[in-house]
Structure 1
């Protein structure tokens, strides 16, 4: 567990050759050594996609665009990223306080990077005022796996990651302001699961619940990164 951008601008994976993260003026950019099979709730493109670049774009708290997809596509072009192969996230959290966790597992390697802003912390399951437009705040979690997973296991990984996120927030005592109840996340959280599907692993993970080796490590990595990024977000 580390926060590499508090004193630097780049991070190279310890276990996955060619995988790097870079802090630029207005974004964290993840460069992948090969195309990844991705599943995400990202602003762009969302769902399943093929990607070799993931961008976490920082916007001001006043950002209230009604068309964030078009904004991200335009930004990708300005950055020299192919919008068709880039997964784009939006955050208002401190990029410098992103937390990175790496794990070597049973027939996989894993890197998790989280940025966390909790001004809009919320508890799912309670009634509230809803709105269609995107607003920043956001816990963005990027989970990159050098290994093989089925599509259903990737969906399972989203569930496990979400449970770990909620556990970390509750451990930290983060609450929804309106109700005072423990928060389960924020109103605009996003997650990306990117998998290399490298055949040389010769092992396909079909499940990713907490009882599986890969699910357990996903949960541990997400918990640790969200705990660190959230706990330190008010620090300089």
Structure 2
């Protein structure tokens, strides 16, 4: 497995290409370095703790491996990432990622919305489990947050994602495998911004950046009314094409 660097503007994750099992795939890398903390639901390095990098890797649809954490570690090693990090996966086209910024907060989204639905879906199991779609969101802030505020930031990012999907005309709250990572500088002496809800200073900026990135990503994909309702039994929103 070999990584090829593709130059991107500042403030964005670094886009890398790789050849894997006969397929051309891509991944985004944030080389944070020491002195950063990440809170998130990543397959590799999830939770809250010091992280020196974040990786968002594209994998084939119908992903066959049962060791995604090991797979992500292999991709990270090929990209020369060292130290603790966080790794996410998606079957979405990573080259089509979207980025939005708001007063120092940067949000990057990869949107795979072919299979989507409401979080509280019926438990009847009709049709069996659907193949996963994924919306992965990585947010960087320039200020430290307390542990509580980091958790709140994940919730705020998720709320903004849902708002963006509805604004895009999609009758859903996301996909079965969405993931979020929030990266902030480590506090110098145990301090940090105490709030990250949508009406706090930094939470509001985070929400606007995530909303803009996800809305752009959703708008790039074609939809129809039947697909927008998909398997949950929900009706398409009025005006959905």
Q: Same fold (TM over 0.5)?
A: yes
Aligned partner of 1:12 in structure 2 is 10
- Normalised TM-score (structure 2): 0.78
Q: Distance in 1 between matches of 2:121 and 2:32?
A: 39
| Count of residues in correspondence between the two structures | 206
Aligned to 1:179: none
Larger Rg: 2
Give yes or no for the alignment of 1:218 onto 2:213.
Answer: no
Which residue number corresponds to residue 196 of structure 1? 185
Per-residue CA deviations over 1:124-159 (Å, capped at 9, x if unaligned) read: 1122449xx9x6521000011110211000111111
2:228 maps to: none
Q: Could you say which structure has the greater relative contact order, defined with CA pairs below 8 angstroms and 6 or more residues apart?
A: 1
Gaps of 5+ in 1: 1-7, 14-19, 175-181
Distance 1:112 1:34 in 2: 20
Return the alpha-carbon distance in structure 1 between the equivalents of residues 88 and 221 of structure 2. 18
Within 5 Å, give how 1:1-236 maps onto structure 2. Answer: 9-13=7-11, 21-25=13-17, 26-82=26-82, 84-104=83-103, 109-128=104-123, 129=125, 136-174=132-170, 182-197=171-186, 199=188, 204-233=192-221
* Structure 2 residue runs without a partner (length 5+): 1-5, 18-25, 223-241
Q: Contact conserved, 2:27 with 2:55, CA < 8 A, in 1?
A: yes
Could you state the TM-score of these two structures normalised by the residue count of structure 1? 0.79
The whole-number CA distance in structure 2 between the counterparts of 1:52 and 1:24 is 17
Shift of the alpha carbon at 1:22? Answer: 1.4
Report deviation, 1:93: 1.0
Root mean square deviation of aligned Cα: 2.4
Q: Is the Cα contact below 8 Å between 2:14 and 2:30 reproduced in 1?
A: yes
Distance 1:24 1:75 in 2: 10
2: CA distance between counterparts of 1:232 and 1:214? 28
Preserved CA contact (<8 Å) 2:99 2:108: yes
Describe the SS at the equivalent of 2:208. helix
**Secondary structure, counterpart of 1:194 in structure 2:** strand
Quick one: distance in 1 between partners of 2:105 and 2:167?
23
| C-alpha deviation, 1:103, in angstroms | 2.1
How big is the shift at 1:204? 3.0
| Mapped contact 1:34–1:196 kept (Cα < 8 A) | no
Q: Is the 8 A contact 2:102 2:208 kept in 1?
A: no
